[in-house]
Protein backbone atom coordinates (compact mmCIF):
# COMPACT_ATOMS: atom_id res chain seq x y z
CA UNK A 1 0.00 0.00 0.00
CA UNK A 2 0.97 3.61 -0.37
CA UNK A 3 3.56 4.04 2.34
CA UNK A 4 4.86 7.53 1.91
CA UNK A 5 3.00 9.33 4.72
CA UNK A 6 4.49 6.90 7.23
CA UNK A 7 7.95 5.73 8.17
CA UNK A 8 8.89 2.35 6.65
CA UNK A 9 8.37 -0.66 8.90
CA UNK A 10 12.03 -0.81 9.89
CA UNK A 11 12.04 2.87 10.91
CA UNK A 12 10.06 2.02 14.04
CA UNK A 13 12.34 0.94 16.88
CA UNK A 14 9.90 -1.69 18.10
CA UNK A 15 9.64 -3.13 14.57
CA UNK A 16 13.41 -3.41 14.38
CA UNK A 17 13.61 -5.11 17.75
CA UNK A 18 10.79 -7.52 16.82
CA UNK A 19 12.49 -8.31 13.49
CA UNK A 20 15.79 -8.95 15.27
CA UNK A 21 14.14 -11.52 17.57
CA UNK A 22 12.10 -13.02 14.74
CA UNK A 23 15.45 -13.66 12.98
CA UNK A 24 16.90 -15.33 16.09
CA UNK A 25 13.81 -17.55 16.34
CA UNK A 26 13.83 -18.31 12.65
CA UNK A 27 17.46 -19.45 12.71
CA UNK A 28 16.77 -21.38 15.93
CA UNK A 29 19.39 -19.46 17.89
CA UNK A 30 16.42 -19.00 20.18
CA UNK A 31 14.73 -22.41 20.32
CA UNK A 32 11.11 -23.28 21.20
CA UNK A 33 10.65 -23.04 24.97
CA UNK A 34 13.58 -20.59 25.44
CA UNK A 35 12.89 -17.60 27.63
CA UNK A 36 13.49 -14.17 26.14
CA UNK A 37 15.41 -11.60 28.24
CA UNK A 38 13.12 -9.69 30.57
CA UNK A 39 11.59 -6.38 29.55
CA UNK A 40 13.93 -4.54 31.91
CA UNK A 41 17.00 -6.34 30.61
CA UNK A 42 16.07 -5.61 27.01
CA UNK A 43 15.29 -2.03 27.82
CA UNK A 44 18.73 -1.45 29.32
CA UNK A 45 20.67 -3.63 26.83
CA UNK A 46 19.09 -1.98 23.82
CA UNK A 47 18.67 1.48 25.36
CA UNK A 48 15.01 1.47 24.51
CA UNK A 49 12.06 2.54 26.60
CA UNK A 50 10.05 -0.13 28.41
CA UNK A 51 7.01 0.65 26.25
CA UNK A 52 9.01 0.20 23.02
CA UNK A 53 10.27 -3.18 24.24
CA UNK A 54 6.76 -4.21 25.27
CA UNK A 55 5.41 -3.19 21.88
CA UNK A 56 8.06 -5.35 20.17
CA UNK A 57 7.20 -8.32 22.37
CA UNK A 58 3.47 -7.91 21.73
CA UNK A 59 4.21 -7.82 18.04
CA UNK A 60 6.15 -11.10 18.27
CA UNK A 61 3.17 -12.51 20.16
CA UNK A 62 0.81 -11.35 17.39
CA UNK A 63 3.06 -13.02 14.84
CA UNK A 64 2.66 -16.30 16.76
CA UNK A 65 6.39 -16.48 17.58
CA UNK A 66 6.39 -15.99 21.36
CA UNK A 67 3.93 -16.40 24.19
CA UNK A 68 3.57 -14.46 27.42
CA UNK A 69 3.44 -16.61 30.55
CA UNK A 70 1.89 -14.92 33.57
CA UNK A 71 4.54 -13.70 36.07
CA UNK A 72 7.27 -15.49 34.08
CA UNK A 73 7.97 -13.41 30.96
CA UNK A 74 8.03 -14.17 27.25
CA UNK A 75 8.95 -17.58 25.79
CA UNK A 76 9.52 -18.82 22.24
CA UNK A 77 6.39 -20.78 21.31
CA UNK A 78 6.65 -24.52 20.92
CA UNK A 79 5.46 -25.47 17.46
CA UNK A 80 3.71 -28.73 16.81
CA UNK A 81 5.57 -31.07 14.48
CA UNK A 82 5.37 -29.72 10.94
CA UNK A 83 2.59 -31.21 8.84
CA UNK A 84 2.70 -31.95 5.15
CA UNK A 85 0.90 -29.54 2.84
CA UNK A 86 -2.05 -30.68 0.73
CA UNK A 87 -1.04 -31.88 -2.72
CA UNK A 88 -2.22 -30.31 -5.96
CA UNK A 89 -4.70 -32.44 -7.89
CA UNK A 90 -2.77 -33.37 -11.01
CA UNK A 91 -5.61 -33.78 -13.49
CA UNK A 92 -6.78 -31.15 -15.92
CA UNK A 93 -10.55 -31.64 -15.79
CA UNK A 94 -13.07 -31.43 -18.59
CA UNK A 95 -15.12 -28.20 -18.66
CA UNK A 96 -18.16 -28.73 -16.42
CA UNK A 97 -21.40 -26.89 -15.78
CA UNK A 98 -21.46 -25.93 -12.12
CA UNK A 99 -24.09 -26.82 -9.52
CA UNK A 100 -22.96 -25.51 -6.15
CA UNK A 101 -25.54 -22.82 -5.46
CA UNK A 102 -28.19 -24.77 -3.53
CA UNK A 103 -25.74 -26.66 -1.36
CA UNK A 104 -23.72 -23.56 -0.70
CA UNK A 105 -26.72 -21.55 0.46
CA UNK A 106 -27.64 -24.36 2.88
CA UNK A 107 -24.10 -24.47 4.28
CA UNK A 108 -23.82 -20.68 4.62
CA UNK A 109 -27.24 -20.50 6.26
CA UNK A 110 -26.30 -23.21 8.80
CA UNK A 111 -23.00 -21.45 9.49
CA UNK A 112 -24.70 -18.14 10.28
CA UNK A 113 -26.97 -19.41 13.06
CA UNK A 114 -26.57 -17.28 16.22
CA UNK A 115 -23.84 -18.46 18.56
CA UNK A 116 -22.07 -20.70 16.04
CA UNK A 117 -18.26 -20.60 16.26
CA UNK A 118 -17.33 -18.44 13.22
CA UNK A 119 -14.82 -20.64 11.41
CA UNK A 120 -16.87 -20.54 8.19
CA UNK A 121 -17.02 -17.27 6.23
CA UNK A 122 -13.68 -15.59 5.64
CA UNK A 123 -13.97 -12.41 7.69
CA UNK A 124 -11.48 -10.66 9.93
CA UNK A 125 -12.95 -9.77 13.34
CA UNK A 126 -13.91 -6.08 13.66
CA UNK A 127 -11.18 -5.55 16.28
CA UNK A 128 -8.52 -6.32 13.66
CA UNK A 129 -9.86 -3.75 11.23
CA UNK A 130 -9.71 0.05 11.40
CA UNK A 131 -13.44 0.32 12.14
CA UNK A 132 -13.29 3.34 14.43
CA UNK A 133 -11.45 5.48 11.87
CA UNK A 134 -13.87 4.37 9.17
CA UNK A 135 -16.81 5.41 11.38
CA UNK A 136 -15.25 8.85 11.83
CA UNK A 137 -14.79 9.12 8.07
CA UNK A 138 -18.53 8.50 7.57
CA UNK A 139 -19.38 11.14 10.18
CA UNK A 140 -17.09 13.67 8.50
CA UNK A 141 -18.63 13.03 5.10
CA UNK A 142 -22.14 13.42 6.49
CA UNK A 143 -21.12 16.75 8.06
CA UNK A 144 -19.02 18.18 5.25
CA UNK A 145 -20.83 16.90 2.17
CA UNK A 146 -24.56 16.85 3.06
CA UNK A 147 -25.44 17.35 -0.62
CA UNK A 148 -24.17 13.84 -1.38
CA UNK A 149 -27.31 12.32 0.11
CA UNK A 150 -29.58 14.77 -1.65
CA UNK A 151 -28.04 14.55 -5.10
CA UNK A 152 -27.63 11.70 -7.51
CA UNK A 153 -26.43 10.85 -10.95
CA UNK A 154 -27.30 8.08 -13.37
CA UNK A 155 -23.96 8.16 -15.09
CA UNK A 156 -21.29 9.68 -12.85
CA UNK A 157 -20.19 6.57 -11.00
CA UNK A 158 -16.70 7.21 -9.65
CA UNK A 159 -15.77 9.44 -6.73
CA UNK A 160 -12.75 11.23 -8.17
CA UNK A 161 -10.95 11.56 -4.84
CA UNK A 162 -11.31 7.82 -4.30
CA UNK A 163 -9.96 7.03 -7.76
CA UNK A 164 -6.93 9.24 -7.05
CA UNK A 165 -6.33 7.26 -3.86
CA UNK A 166 -6.63 3.95 -5.70
CA UNK A 167 -4.03 5.12 -8.20
CA UNK A 168 -1.68 6.15 -5.37
CA UNK A 169 -2.16 2.83 -3.57
CA UNK A 170 -1.21 0.98 -6.75
CA UNK A 171 2.28 2.57 -6.59
CA UNK A 172 3.01 -0.01 -3.94
CA UNK A 173 2.63 -2.92 -6.37
CA UNK A 174 4.03 -1.84 -9.68
CA UNK A 175 1.43 0.80 -10.55
CA UNK A 176 0.36 3.50 -11.21
CA UNK A 177 -2.97 2.32 -12.49
CA UNK A 178 -4.49 4.48 -15.19
CA UNK A 179 -7.30 6.48 -13.53
CA UNK A 180 -9.27 6.24 -16.79
CA UNK A 181 -9.60 2.45 -16.58
CA UNK A 182 -10.97 2.33 -13.01
CA UNK A 183 -14.63 1.62 -12.35
CA UNK A 184 -15.77 1.74 -8.73
CA UNK A 185 -18.14 -1.12 -7.95
CA UNK A 186 -20.37 -2.49 -5.23
CA UNK A 187 -17.53 -4.50 -3.80
CA UNK A 188 -15.41 -7.20 -5.41
CA UNK A 189 -18.31 -9.57 -6.12
CA UNK A 190 -19.96 -7.08 -8.44
CA UNK A 191 -16.65 -6.42 -10.20
CA UNK A 192 -16.16 -10.14 -10.83
CA UNK A 193 -19.74 -10.53 -12.07
CA UNK A 194 -19.40 -7.64 -14.49
CA UNK A 195 -16.08 -8.88 -15.85
CA UNK A 196 -17.42 -12.36 -16.54
CA UNK A 197 -20.50 -10.96 -18.22
CA UNK A 198 -18.34 -8.65 -20.33
CA UNK A 199 -16.23 -11.37 -21.92
CA UNK A 200 -18.36 -14.54 -22.01
CA UNK A 201 -21.64 -15.90 -23.30
CA UNK A 202 -23.69 -18.77 -21.84
CA UNK A 203 -22.04 -22.11 -22.60
CA UNK A 204 -18.50 -20.66 -22.74
CA UNK A 205 -15.65 -22.18 -20.76
CA UNK A 206 -13.79 -20.30 -18.01
CA UNK A 207 -10.45 -21.59 -16.66
CA UNK A 208 -9.91 -21.26 -12.93
CA UNK A 209 -7.79 -22.59 -10.08
CA UNK A 210 -8.74 -25.82 -8.38
CA UNK A 211 -9.77 -25.52 -5.60
CA UNK A 212 -11.22 -22.02 -5.88
CA UNK A 213 -13.38 -19.54 -3.96
CA UNK A 214 -16.93 -20.86 -4.15
CA UNK A 215 -18.55 -17.54 -5.11
CA UNK A 216 -16.60 -17.66 -8.38
CA UNK A 217 -18.24 -21.00 -9.06
CA UNK A 218 -21.63 -19.56 -8.10
CA UNK A 219 -21.24 -16.71 -10.57
CA UNK A 220 -20.16 -19.13 -13.30
CA UNK A 221 -23.20 -21.27 -12.52
CA UNK A 222 -25.59 -18.33 -12.60
CA UNK A 223 -24.26 -17.20 -16.00
CA UNK A 224 -24.58 -20.69 -17.53
CA UNK A 225 -20.82 -20.97 -18.07
CA UNK A 226 -18.60 -24.04 -17.78
CA UNK A 227 -15.67 -24.26 -15.37
CA UNK A 228 -12.35 -25.77 -16.38
CA UNK A 229 -10.43 -26.61 -13.21
CA UNK A 230 -6.68 -26.06 -13.53
CA UNK A 231 -4.34 -27.94 -11.13
CA UNK A 232 -3.08 -25.56 -8.47
CA UNK A 233 -0.19 -26.00 -6.04
CA UNK A 234 -0.84 -24.92 -2.43
CA UNK A 235 2.56 -23.23 -2.53
CA UNK A 236 3.04 -21.73 -6.01
CA UNK A 237 -0.54 -21.45 -7.23
CA UNK A 238 -1.94 -22.30 -10.62
CA UNK A 239 0.16 -24.51 -12.90
CA UNK A 240 1.37 -22.37 -15.82
CA UNK A 241 2.02 -25.51 -17.86
CA UNK A 242 -1.56 -26.72 -17.37
CA UNK A 243 -2.88 -23.27 -18.24
CA UNK A 244 -0.78 -23.31 -21.38
CA UNK A 245 -2.25 -26.68 -22.34
CA UNK A 246 -5.80 -25.66 -21.48
CA UNK A 247 -5.75 -22.51 -23.60
CA UNK A 248 -4.23 -24.12 -26.73
CA UNK A 249 -7.38 -24.85 -28.71
CA UNK A 250 -9.17 -21.52 -28.23
CA UNK A 251 -12.07 -23.03 -26.23
CA UNK A 252 -11.28 -21.11 -23.04
CA UNK A 253 -12.96 -17.70 -23.27
CA UNK A 254 -11.72 -16.23 -19.97
CA UNK A 255 -9.45 -17.04 -17.08
CA UNK A 256 -10.30 -16.23 -13.46
CA UNK A 257 -7.45 -16.30 -10.92
CA UNK A 258 -6.70 -15.30 -7.31
CA UNK A 259 -2.90 -14.93 -7.53
CA UNK A 260 -2.16 -13.37 -4.10
CA UNK A 261 -3.27 -15.02 -0.84
CA UNK A 262 -5.47 -17.45 -2.75
CA UNK A 263 -8.79 -18.49 -1.22
CA UNK A 264 -8.75 -21.28 0.02
CA UNK A 265 -5.05 -22.24 -0.33
CA UNK A 266 -3.35 -18.99 0.77
CA UNK A 267 -0.63 -19.34 -1.88
CA UNK A 268 1.01 -16.51 -3.84
CA UNK A 269 1.98 -17.15 -7.46
CA UNK A 270 5.75 -16.51 -7.88
CA UNK A 271 6.41 -13.24 -9.70
CA UNK A 272 8.06 -14.97 -12.65
CA UNK A 273 5.00 -17.17 -13.18
CA UNK A 274 2.79 -14.06 -13.06
CA UNK A 275 4.84 -12.54 -15.85
CA UNK A 276 4.49 -15.76 -17.90
CA UNK A 277 0.72 -15.92 -17.31
CA UNK A 278 0.25 -12.28 -18.39
CA UNK A 279 2.19 -12.92 -21.61
CA UNK A 280 0.55 -16.28 -22.35
CA UNK A 281 -3.02 -15.06 -21.97
CA UNK A 282 -2.41 -11.85 -23.90
CA UNK A 283 -0.84 -13.80 -26.75
CA UNK A 284 -3.77 -16.22 -26.88
CA UNK A 285 -6.40 -13.48 -26.55
CA UNK A 286 -7.84 -14.94 -23.33
CA UNK A 287 -8.94 -12.12 -20.99
CA UNK A 288 -7.76 -12.51 -17.40
CA UNK A 289 -10.06 -11.58 -14.52
CA UNK A 290 -7.82 -11.21 -11.50
CA UNK A 291 -9.16 -11.20 -7.94
CA UNK A 292 -6.61 -9.40 -5.74
CA UNK A 293 -8.72 -8.99 -2.62
CA UNK A 294 -6.05 -10.54 -0.34
CA UNK A 295 -3.07 -8.80 -1.98
CA UNK A 296 -2.65 -6.39 0.96
CA UNK A 297 -2.76 -9.18 3.52
CA UNK A 298 0.52 -10.93 2.70
CA UNK A 299 2.47 -12.20 5.72
CA UNK A 300 6.09 -11.57 4.78
CA UNK A 301 8.19 -9.13 2.80
CA UNK A 302 6.97 -6.67 0.20
CA UNK A 303 3.44 -6.58 -1.12
CA UNK A 304 3.17 -9.16 -3.93
CA UNK A 305 2.33 -7.66 -7.32
CA UNK A 306 -0.85 -8.59 -9.13
CA UNK A 307 -0.60 -10.06 -12.65
CA UNK A 308 -2.00 -6.71 -13.80
CA UNK A 309 1.42 -5.20 -13.07
CA UNK A 310 2.91 -7.38 -15.85
CA UNK A 311 0.15 -6.73 -18.38
CA UNK A 312 1.13 -4.55 -21.30
CA UNK A 313 -1.86 -5.44 -23.49
CA UNK A 314 -4.80 -4.15 -21.39
CA UNK A 315 -5.86 -7.80 -21.14
CA UNK A 316 -6.19 -8.00 -17.33
CA UNK A 317 -9.23 -6.85 -15.35
CA UNK A 318 -8.02 -6.36 -11.80
CA UNK A 319 -10.81 -6.69 -9.21
CA UNK A 320 -10.58 -5.89 -5.53
CA UNK A 321 -12.32 -4.28 -2.57
CA UNK A 322 -11.79 -3.19 1.02
CA UNK A 323 -13.87 -6.02 2.49
CA UNK A 324 -10.90 -7.86 3.97
CA UNK A 325 -8.81 -4.89 5.00
CA UNK A 326 -11.25 -2.17 6.14
CA UNK A 327 -14.84 -3.38 6.55
CA UNK A 328 -16.97 -6.17 5.08
CA UNK A 329 -19.98 -3.87 5.39
CA UNK A 330 -18.52 -1.04 3.30
CA UNK A 331 -19.27 -2.76 -0.04
CA UNK A 332 -16.92 -0.59 -2.06
CA UNK A 333 -14.63 -2.27 -4.58
CA UNK A 334 -13.29 -1.55 -8.02
CA UNK A 335 -12.12 -3.00 -11.27
CA UNK A 336 -9.17 -1.68 -13.27
CA UNK A 337 -10.59 -2.87 -16.54
CA UNK A 338 -7.90 -2.35 -19.16
CA UNK A 339 -9.34 -2.47 -22.65
CA UNK A 340 -12.68 -3.80 -21.39
CA UNK A 341 -13.54 -0.56 -19.59
CA UNK A 342 -16.27 0.71 -21.94
CA UNK A 343 -18.06 -2.64 -21.94
CA UNK A 344 -17.94 -2.84 -18.17
CA UNK A 345 -19.21 0.71 -17.76
CA UNK A 346 -22.29 -0.11 -19.83
CA UNK A 347 -22.93 -3.33 -17.91
CA UNK A 348 -22.48 -1.56 -14.58
CA UNK A 349 -25.10 1.02 -15.56
CA UNK A 350 -27.48 -1.74 -16.63
CA UNK A 351 -27.11 -3.94 -13.58
CA UNK A 352 -26.68 -1.59 -10.62
CA UNK A 353 -26.67 2.00 -11.85
CA UNK A 354 -23.92 3.67 -9.88
CA UNK A 355 -22.02 2.79 -6.71
CA UNK A 356 -23.20 4.67 -3.59
CA UNK A 357 -21.67 8.14 -3.40
CA UNK A 358 -21.59 8.23 0.41
CA UNK A 359 -19.54 5.06 1.06
CA UNK A 360 -17.19 6.04 -1.77
CA UNK A 361 -16.62 9.50 -0.27
CA UNK A 362 -16.18 7.98 3.20
CA UNK A 363 -13.58 5.55 1.90
CA UNK A 364 -11.74 8.37 0.12
CA UNK A 365 -11.81 10.36 3.36
CA UNK A 366 -10.53 7.33 5.30
CA UNK A 367 -7.65 6.70 2.88
CA UNK A 368 -6.78 10.39 2.94
CA UNK A 369 -6.63 10.45 6.73
CA UNK A 370 -3.27 8.65 6.99
CA UNK A 371 -2.59 5.51 8.94
CA UNK A 372 -3.83 2.84 6.52
CA UNK A 373 -0.35 1.37 5.91
CA UNK A 374 0.16 1.03 9.67
CA UNK A 375 -3.33 -0.42 10.16
CA UNK A 376 -2.69 -2.96 7.42
CA UNK A 377 0.52 -4.05 9.11
CA UNK A 378 -1.45 -4.65 12.29
CA UNK A 379 -4.13 -6.69 10.47
CA UNK A 380 -1.51 -8.71 8.58
CA UNK A 381 0.45 -9.58 11.71
CA UNK A 382 -2.64 -10.52 13.63
CA UNK A 383 -3.82 -12.76 10.77
CA UNK A 384 -0.41 -14.45 10.49
CA UNK A 385 -0.43 -15.11 14.25
CA UNK A 386 -3.96 -16.51 14.20
CA UNK A 387 -3.17 -18.75 11.23
CA UNK A 388 -0.08 -20.04 13.11
CA UNK A 389 -2.13 -20.85 16.20
CA UNK A 390 -4.86 -22.55 14.23
CA UNK A 391 -2.20 -24.60 12.40
CA UNK A 392 -0.63 -25.72 15.68
CA UNK A 393 -3.98 -26.67 17.15
CA UNK A 394 -4.99 -28.67 14.07
CA UNK A 395 -1.59 -30.40 14.04
CA UNK A 396 -2.11 -31.33 17.68
CA UNK A 397 -5.69 -32.56 17.53
CA UNK A 398 -6.45 -33.79 14.00
CA UNK A 399 -5.30 -37.24 12.82
CA UNK A 400 -1.64 -37.31 11.81
CA UNK A 401 -2.44 -38.06 8.12
CA UNK A 402 -4.09 -34.63 7.76
CA UNK A 403 -2.30 -32.14 5.54
CA UNK A 404 -2.46 -28.42 6.30
CA UNK A 405 -1.86 -25.52 3.93
CA UNK A 406 0.84 -22.99 4.77
CA UNK A 407 -0.74 -19.71 3.66
CA UNK A 408 1.45 -16.82 2.59
CA UNK A 409 -1.38 -14.36 3.17
CA UNK A 410 -5.07 -13.93 3.97
CA UNK A 411 -6.71 -15.71 6.87
CA UNK A 412 -8.02 -19.09 5.84
CA UNK A 413 -6.55 -22.58 6.24
CA UNK A 414 -7.18 -25.56 3.99
CA UNK A 415 -7.04 -29.01 5.55
CA UNK A 416 -6.94 -32.30 3.68
CA UNK A 417 -8.33 -35.01 5.94
CA UNK A 418 -8.12 -38.82 5.66
CA UNK A 419 -9.80 -40.16 2.50
CA UNK A 420 -12.75 -41.72 4.35
CA UNK A 421 -13.90 -38.44 5.91
CA UNK A 422 -16.77 -36.72 4.07
CA UNK A 423 -16.60 -32.99 4.81
CA UNK A 424 -20.36 -32.54 4.28
CA UNK A 425 -21.18 -35.22 6.87
CA UNK A 426 -18.64 -33.66 9.19
CA UNK A 427 -20.23 -30.25 8.61
CA UNK A 428 -23.69 -31.53 9.62
CA UNK A 429 -22.25 -32.93 12.83
CA UNK A 430 -20.18 -29.81 13.52
CA UNK A 431 -22.97 -27.24 13.08
CA UNK A 432 -25.20 -29.37 15.32
CA UNK A 433 -22.51 -28.80 17.96
CA UNK A 434 -22.19 -25.10 17.12
CA UNK A 435 -19.04 -25.13 14.96
CA UNK A 436 -18.97 -23.68 11.43
CA UNK A 437 -16.55 -24.32 8.55
CA UNK A 438 -16.81 -24.67 4.77
CA UNK A 439 -16.73 -28.22 3.35
CA UNK A 440 -14.20 -28.84 0.56
CA UNK A 441 -16.77 -29.95 -2.06
CA UNK A 442 -17.93 -26.33 -2.43
CA UNK A 443 -14.57 -25.28 -3.85
CA UNK A 444 -14.85 -27.46 -6.94
CA UNK A 445 -17.11 -27.62 -9.97
CA UNK A 446 -16.65 -31.37 -10.22
CA UNK A 447 -17.15 -32.55 -6.64
CA UNK A 448 -13.46 -32.81 -5.74
CA UNK A 449 -12.14 -32.14 -2.23
CA UNK A 450 -14.74 -34.32 -0.49
CA UNK A 451 -12.24 -34.90 2.33
CA UNK A 452 -11.10 -31.26 2.67
CA UNK A 453 -12.30 -28.30 4.66
CA UNK A 454 -11.60 -24.57 4.95
CA UNK A 455 -11.31 -22.83 8.31
CA UNK A 456 -11.52 -19.09 8.88
CA UNK A 457 -8.71 -17.75 11.10
CA UNK A 458 -9.95 -14.14 11.09
CA UNK A 459 -10.83 -14.09 14.80
CA UNK A 460 -8.46 -13.38 17.69
CA UNK A 461 -7.40 -16.65 19.24
CA UNK A 462 -9.25 -17.60 22.42
CA UNK A 463 -10.26 -20.62 24.48
CA UNK A 464 -13.55 -21.02 22.66
CA UNK A 465 -11.86 -21.31 19.28
CA UNK A 466 -9.16 -23.61 20.71
CA UNK A 467 -11.72 -26.01 22.12
CA UNK A 468 -13.89 -25.83 18.96
CA UNK A 469 -10.93 -26.85 16.78
CA UNK A 470 -10.01 -29.59 19.25
CA UNK A 471 -13.58 -30.91 19.12
CA UNK A 472 -13.54 -30.81 15.33
CA UNK A 473 -10.38 -32.93 15.42
CA UNK A 474 -12.20 -35.47 17.61
CA UNK A 475 -15.06 -35.59 15.10
CA UNK A 476 -12.60 -36.16 12.23
CA UNK A 477 -11.21 -39.08 14.24
CA UNK A 478 -14.76 -40.43 14.37
CA UNK A 479 -15.72 -39.15 17.82
Q: Which residues bind ligand PLP (CB under 6 A)?
A: 122, 187-189, 213, 258, 263, 291, 293, 321, 323, 333
The H or E element spanning position 15 is: helix 13-26
Nearer to ligand PLP, 21 or 294 (CB): 294
Q: How far apart are alpha carbons 322 and 326 in whole angstroms?
A: 5
∠ at Cα 322 (317, 328), nearest 5°? 125
Burial class (CB in 10 A: 0-12, 13-18, 19+), 359: buried
Nearer to ligand PLP, 263 or 315 (CB): 263
CA-wise closest residue to 104 among 439, 459, 464, 458:
439
Residue 208 CB partners (closer than 8 Å, separation 6+)? 216, 220, 227, 228, 229, 230, 255, 256, 257
Query: Considering the complex, what minimum distance in angstroms separates the CB of residue 479 from ligand PLP?
Result: 31
Nearer to ligand PLP, 229 or 291 (CB): 291
Query: Considering the complex, what minimum distance in angstroms separates the CB of residue 194 from ligand PLP?
Result: 12
Query: Considering the complex, what minimum distance in angstroms separates the CB of residue 188 from ligand PLP?
Result: 3
Q: Parallel, antiparallel, or unpaired for β 452-456 and 438-439?
A: antiparallel
**Residue spans of alpha helices (H) in 200-239:** 214-222
> What CA–CA distances, in Å, run from 380 to 62, 230, 454?
9, 29, 19
The DSSP symbol for 180 reads G
Nearer to ligand PLP, 30 or 98 (CB): 98
Query: Considering the complex, what minimum distance in angstroms separates the CB of residue 296 from ligand PLP?
Result: 13
Query: Considering the complex, what minimum distance in angstroms separates the CB of residue 363 from ligand PLP?
Result: 12
Nearer to ligand PLP, 212 or 441 (CB): 212
Q: How far apart are alpha carbons 247 and 409 in whole angstroms?
A: 28
Nearer to ligand PLP, 145 or 233 (CB): 233
Nearer to ligand PLP, 60 or 364 (CB): 364
Query: Considering the complex, what minimum distance in angstroms separates the CB of residue 29 from ligand PLP?
Result: 37
> What CA–CA distances, in Å, run from 145 to 358, 359, 368, 463, 465?
9, 12, 15, 45, 43
Q: What does the CA dihedral 171, 172, 173, 176 come to, rounded to 10 degrees?
A: -10
Query: Considering the complex, what minimum distance in angstroms separates the CB of residue 102 from ligand PLP?
Result: 19
Query: Considering the complex, what minimum distance in angstroms separates the CB of residue 187 from ligand PLP?
Result: 3
Nearer to ligand PLP, 333 or 385 (CB): 333
Amino acid sequence: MCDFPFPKMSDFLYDRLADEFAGLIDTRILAPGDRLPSVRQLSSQKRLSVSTVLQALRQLEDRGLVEARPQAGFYVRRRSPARAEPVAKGRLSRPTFVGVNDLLMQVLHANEQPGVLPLGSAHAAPGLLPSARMQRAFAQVARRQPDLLAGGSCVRNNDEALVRKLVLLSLDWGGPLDAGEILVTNSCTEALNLCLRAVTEPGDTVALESPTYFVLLQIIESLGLKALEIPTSPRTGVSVEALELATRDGAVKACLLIPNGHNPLGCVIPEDNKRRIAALLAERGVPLIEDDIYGDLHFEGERPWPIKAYDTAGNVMLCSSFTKSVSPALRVGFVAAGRYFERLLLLKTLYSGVTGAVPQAALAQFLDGGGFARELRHTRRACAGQVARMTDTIAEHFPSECRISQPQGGFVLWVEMPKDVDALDLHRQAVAEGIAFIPGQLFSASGRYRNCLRLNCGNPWDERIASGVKRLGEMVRGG
